[in-house]
Structure 1
Amino acid sequence: MGVILIDNDVVVNEISKELEGIGTNNEAEYFALIERLQHAINLGWKDVCIQGDSRLVIDQVAGSWSINADNLKKLNAEAKELIKRFTSVKLEWIERERNSKSLS
Structure 2
Amino acid sequence: MYAVIKTGGKQYKVASGDVIKVEKLAGDEGSEVIFNEVLALGDNVGKPLVAGASVKATILKQAKADKVIVFKKKRRQNYRRKNGHRQNITIVKIAEIA
TM over 0.5, shorter chain = no
From the CA coordinates, give the structure whose radius of gyration is larger: 2
Q: TM-score range by the shorter chain?
A: under 0.3
Q: State the TM-score, normalizing by the size of structure 2.
A: 0.23
Q: Which structure is higher in strand share?
A: 2
